[in-house]
């Protein structure tokens, strides 16, 4: 069994970082490049976790959590810490945050998947 687990871990370690261009957050001559690695089960759990009262997060919360947790610069350093949640929720264009989160959350998802559908699948699966 450990051989299979070793191969599974090696597979994850060998996956390429993905990139998304965010022109709105870059300079006039060059868009910001955000990189991210694939989600682990623990990271997915953190993004979709319920609050203290057991309420599942809405799509906006899921998007913001994904961006905070996974958005990195080209050197692989996180762009946001956990304290950025309020600003990303209340002071940033939701469409841009959503586009970045879609890339992070749905890199292999079927076309037409939405954050809400994924939340439902996570709750029921």
Per-residue pLDDT at 108 exceeds 80? no
The answer to pTM > 0.75 is: yes
Supply the pLDDT for residue 76: 95
What is the tens place of the pLDDT at every residue in 43-86?
A: 999 999 999 999 999 999 999 999 999 999 999 999 999 999 99
pLDDT in the model for residue 110: 46
pLDDT confidence of residue 114: 53
| DSSP 8-state class, residue 72 | B
Average pLDDT, the chain: 88
């Amino acid at each position: 069994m450990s051989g299979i687990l070793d191969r599974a871990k090696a597979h994850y370690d060998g996956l390429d970082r993905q990139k998304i261009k965010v022109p709105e957050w870059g300079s006039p001559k060059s868009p910001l490049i955000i990189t991210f690695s694939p989600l682990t089960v623990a990271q997915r759990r953190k993004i979709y976790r319920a609050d203290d009262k057991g309420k599942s997060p809405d799509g906006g919360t899921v998007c913001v959590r994904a961006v905070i947790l996974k958005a990195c610069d080209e050197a692989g350093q996180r762009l946001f810490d956990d304290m950025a949640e309020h600003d990303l929720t209340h002071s940033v264009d939701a469409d841009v945050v959503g586009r970045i989160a879609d890339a992070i959350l749905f890199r292999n998802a079927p076309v037409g998947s939405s954050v809400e559908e994924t939340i439902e699948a996570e709750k029921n699966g």
